């Protein structure tokens, strides 16, 4: 059996792994930017950090949705 041949389940698994890692990276990036904005501009309020995290995870979700729907 050839190692070049991948099953569809393996391809989906790899894409979902990339989606999870992308969500973690973008979520943490949004959190860091939100924390910086909170400290600099908003007198240490928690909402900029939450908003930044939400934006990061939302962008990652949209990217993942596009990537997984390539099979349809």
Q: Are 23 and 61 in contact (CB under 8 A)?
A: yes
pTM score? 0.78
Question: Which whole-number Å values give the CA distances from 72 to 7, 13, 30, 64, 68, in the listed order?
Answer: 16, 16, 31, 14, 9
What confidence category does residue 13 fall into, taking pLDDT thresholds of 50, 70 and 90?
confident
Q: Is the pLDDT of residue 72 over 70?
A: no
Write out pLDDT tens, residues 15-57.
Answer: 889 999 999 999 999 999 999 999 999 888 899 999 999 999 9
Residue-level pLDDT at 32? 96
Distance CA 53, CA 62 (A): 14
């Amino acid at each position: 059996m050839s190692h070049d041949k991948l099953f569809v389940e393996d391809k989906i698994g790899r894409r979902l792994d990339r989606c999870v890692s992308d969500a973690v990276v973008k979520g943490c990036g949004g959190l860091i930017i939100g924390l910086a904005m909170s400290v600099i501009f908003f007198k240490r309020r928690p909402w900029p950090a939450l908003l930044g995290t939400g934006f990061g995870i939302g962008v990652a979700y949209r990217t993942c949705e596009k990537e997984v729907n390539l099979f349809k």
